[in-house]
Structure 1
Amino acid sequence: MTVVRRKVKLRGGALNSRRTFLEVVGGMALGLSFGGGADAAQGVDGSDAFVCRYDVERSIAHFDAAYYGAMTRRTTAAYRAKSEWVNRNNALFLRSALPGPTRDERLQRSVEAVAGLIGANADEVALCGGGTEALYGLIVNYRPLKPGDAIITADIDYDEMQHAMAYLEASRGATLVRIVIPEPSTTANILAAYEKALRDTPRARLLLLTHISNRNGLVLPVREIAAMAKARGVDVILDSAQSVGLLPVDVDALGIDFMGFSLHKWVAAPLGTGGIYIRKGRQQDIAPWLGNHIHPDTDIRARMPTGTVDFAARLTLPDAIAEYRELGPDRKLQRLLAHRNRWVEGAREIRGVEIVQPEEPGRYAAIGAFRLPGQKSWEDAQRVQREFIQKHRILVVAKRGLASGPVVRVTPALFNTSAELDRLVTAIHAERSLFG
């Protein structure tokens, strides 16, 4: 992954020193203009090609794309049109009573588009409500586990997926092993941590890996860890909720047999869309969802709930993926990296502010996190989130779960502007003494 490094630029040039930074934010506090205008409309890369594609609320600067990546205007229009079509045809569509393609044939176009996104075959992918749903289906229905087998999870893993692993301990007699990813999270440190965990756990059978942590944005070297696990007979379930649509994800290149992922984050598909991947030949290692026999056991769709869903959202997936490809995955990533670098480099100039994210190229992407001076507890992190909303009209998110303590997460979106990123840095400076 190529990392773009960019100095935070306002009208006075790059912020190369703490003194320069403090002079600039001091001017902002007095209401002086150091940006905005064309730059605010155009964004970091000097082009409004991304910003103009979105119609989002601008009274609050929101940095929470890791939760929901808003649809573009075009995808929104496609979703609206498909919602109207589904409503107009209602049960005629659901019962495949219309002339032309059946309901499942129409949905198959979406499955094929999603499979192409991750380098999989269409019969290895099923649509679902998001990464959490997919990963629950993989984890709790993992068949090869026997009483006394060990399962491994880490502090960077998503809360609900850790809960699912703990469920295996409670319900299947597995031994749950929790590890801490060391900081600084260099590639060497990460690989050493997983190698030690696997070496010290001879009965390990299942390893949960998170491609990109939702807590601090750490990008794991998945291919290397998966190969390490496979050499010891340990299966890997990959949580790619934060990576599909943000980083290149190819299941063969990563060496992954099981994966759950979201599409409403970085692909910017309608809310509540995602997918489950099971490599051909491994489907029988994942039991059907709660004994689901609506589909045959040989059909991957049996591994997901089969209730009534938002069919319009699923029918819109080819539209969202087509626009994602049109925008250019590499171009999107470079813009998001530039966004990340802009606020991180500005915040790093502020005395006492801790950037809780690796610095090694390839170990981070768009998601980042910080701690204010003196910020220690979960209550402190929640207070930062409230203060930023109430005083600065900026949405950042308190996150806990890291062994090193709670953080405040920042996730820029494609629609964020340079002016909004600079407002964020100004707010961090303004609140640097929040805890004394």
Structure 2
Amino acid sequence: MHNRRGFIGGAAAAMAAMSGAANANGARASGASFAARYDVDRSIVNLDAAYYGAMTRTTAAAYRRHGEWVNRHNALFLRSALPGPTRDARLQPATDATASLIGAKPDEVALCAGGTEALYGLIVNYRLLKSGDAVLMADVDYDEMQHAMAYLESSRDIRVERMTVPEPATAANILAAYDEALLRNPRIRLVLLTHVSNRNGLVMPVREIVDMARRRGADVILDSAQAVGLLPVDVDALGVDFMGFSLHKWVAAPLGTGGIYIRRNRLADIAPWLGNHIRADDDVRARVPTGTVDFAARLTVPHAIAEHLASGPERKLAHLSELQARWVAGVSGVAGLQIVHPQEPDRHAVIGAFRLPKQSSWPDAQRAQKVLLEKHRVLVVAKQGLASGPVLRVTPALFNTEAEIDRMSAAVRAERTLFT
């Protein structure tokens, strides 16, 4: 039987032997030691960890080893023709490690190409909608997941309800807004909920919204693409039955890794992916595509999770939060600059956003991104979708140094008159 405590203990023991791992006594790693674990291009200050967190040097080496092994054994591995464990048995540790990471059982989790793929599978294949029902989504939700919800409207006789998360985004304001939206349309049966917004780092009060929706007869599909590996995620504590997430962001696994979670007693409420019968209907793996994937990436997942755990998730989060606080302090004296991410404790996590003075439109945000990149060699990301307007998103990574954060702040200060 899968044992979460045993996995974590084993991961820490394994990581103690790895080059660049956290030391055995658990002392807090310095920012310099975090950055030293990465081999990244530093010609540009890259503040886009919300897209891809990048593998550490040791995880990248493990990925190369697995790639060489898969290439050497090719169809012998893919056909389970090698002596010893079958292909599925060799991949099982990745599922076990991923399930342990979110407090789930291994038969409730299937690996997939990332949060987007998992959430498409959950949203589009959700079986319980009937003609005349409604679904709910918000401005902070990820674009592609909003597209998936809109697809339900065009493919089934249901209605999409849209809501705006109020700013300032306090827990009280958020809960009141969801309560009002659910009260406004009692036919809402499905809610898309984003755990951590990719637009402004807003952390939702997930458990409270899940409980609220359940009392009103609605299910929640949780988008945890930006949460797993950044914040503590436990599916039982959150009360969720359906969740999609990525591993290549904050866990720093190879690109194209993520997972779908479906609580065991709810599996039948999500149809197999496009009628997939390669896996049995009672197998969660039938809910994701079954084509040939990057098996080397999946074989590397246990290593990435082990390194994540041994590095100390709390230490990682604390360090990233310090980097966020550093850039905010560095631009705080710019008159007219707006810090957009929430300020209430526990309502934001590392991902931040701002607007330059008098920046108001999507072309403005795009222009600011271009100027900062081409003139100052600093990458921040123009993002639209918030009801309050486009922003410039800043997402520090573990590979960023304090000097790089200061370069970003200096670049923003230098462009404070870009739109004046």
2:75 corresponds to: 91
Q: CA deviation at 1:47?
A: 4.4
Q: Distance in 2 between matches of 1:422 and 1:111?
A: 39
Among 268, 271, 276, which residue is 2:260 paired with? 276
Structure 1: which amino acid aligns with 2:171? T
User: What code does the residue aligned with 2:399 have?
Assistant: F
State TM-score, norm by structure 2.
Answer: 0.93
1:370 and 1:307 map into 2 onto residues whose CA distance is: 41
- 1:289 maps to a residue whose letter is W
Describe the SS at the equivalent of 1:165.
helix
Correspondence for 1:225: 209
Of residues 47, 58, 68 in structure 1, which corresponds to 2:52? Answer: 68
Gapped regions of structure 1 (runs ≥ 5): 1-43
Aligned to 1:244: 228
Distance 2:118 2:106 in 1: 16
C-alpha spacing 1:122/1:379, structure 2 compared with 1 (3 Å)? same
Say yes or no: does 1:160 pair with 2:132. Answer: no
Q: CA separation in 1, counterparts of 2:256 and 2:86?
A: 23
- Give deviations 1:317-341, integer Å, cap 9, x for gaps: 0000000001000000000110111
Among candidates 322, 328, 332, match of residue 338 of structure 1: 322
> 1:146-171 deviations in whole A, cap 9, x for unaligned?
11101000000000000000000111
SS in 2 for 1:82: helix
- Distance in 1 (alpha carbons) for counterparts of 2:294 and 2:277: 21
CA deviation after TM superposition for structure 1 residue 345, in Å: 1.9
**CA distance in structure 2 between the partners assigned to 1:45 and 1:391 by the alignment:** 33
Q: 1:47/1:212 Cα in 2 relative to 1: closer, same or farther (>3 Å)? A: closer
Counterpart code for 2:149? M
Change (3 A) 1:89 1:207: same
Q: Deviations over 1:276-313 (max 9, x none)?
A: 00001101100000000000100001100000000000
1:13-32 → structure 2 map (5 Å cutoff): none
1:93-132 map, 5 Å: 93-132=77-116
Give the one of 388, 394, 397 matched to 2:381: 397
The structure-2 alpha-carbon separation of the partners of 1:431 and 1:194, relative to structure 1 and needing over 3 Å to count, comes to same
Q: What is the letter of the counterpart of residue 410 of structure 2?
A: T
Q: How many residues align?
A: 393
Residue number among 371, 374, 388 corresponding to 2:355 in the alignment? 371
Distance in 1 separating the partners of 2:30 and 2:68: 37
Q: Which residue in 1 is equivalent to 2:8?
A: none
Deviation at 1:48, TM superposition (A): 2.1
The one-letter code matched in structure 2 to 1:202 is: P
Q: Select 2:192's aligned residue among 192, 196, 208.
A: 208
* Alpha-carbon displacement from aligned partner over 1:86-142 (angstroms, at most 9, x marks no partner): 000000000001011100001111000000000000000000000000000000000
| Deviation for aligned residue 1:52 | 1.0
Match of 1:387 in 2: 371
C-alpha displacement of 1:426: 0.6
Aligned AA (1:85): W
Aligned partner (choices 193, 205, 213) of residue 177 of structure 2: 193
Q: Distance in 1 between matches of 2:33 and 2:84?
A: 37
- State the partner residue of 1:12: none
Identity of aligned residues (%): 70
From 401, 413, 419, the counterpart of 1:417:
401
Report the alpha carbon displacement of residue 45 of structure 1 after superposing the two structures with TM: 7.9
Aligned partners of 2:99 and 2:147: how far apart in 1? 28
TM superposition shift of 1:46: 4.9
What displacement does 1:349 show? 1.6
Q: Which one of 32, 36, 55 corresponds to residue 52 of structure 1?
A: 36
2:345 alignment counterpart:
361
Listed one character per residue, the Cα deviations across residues 210-260 of structure 1 (whole Å, up to 9, x for unaligned) are 000000111101011111111111100000000000000000000000000
Letter in 2 for 1:246: L
Query: Is the CA contact 2:32–2:401 (under 8 Å) kept in the aligned structure 1?
Result: no
Does the CA-based 8 Å contact 2:44-2:379 persist in structure 1?
A: yes
Counterpart code for 2:67? S
Within 5 Å, give how 1:134-149 maps onto structure 2. Answer: 134-149=118-133
2:162 matched to 1:178? yes
Find the aligned partners of 2:217 and 2:85 in 1 and give their Cα distance: 44
Q: Distance in 2 between matches of 1:163 and 1:174?
A: 14
TM-score by length of 1: 0.89
Give the counterpart letter for 2:217 in structure 1.
G
Asked if 1 retains the 8 angstrom alpha-carbon contact of 2:228 and 2:250, the reply is: yes
Checking the alignment, whether the CA contact within 8 Å between 2:31 and 2:319 is kept in structure 1 is: no
1:432 paired residue number: 416
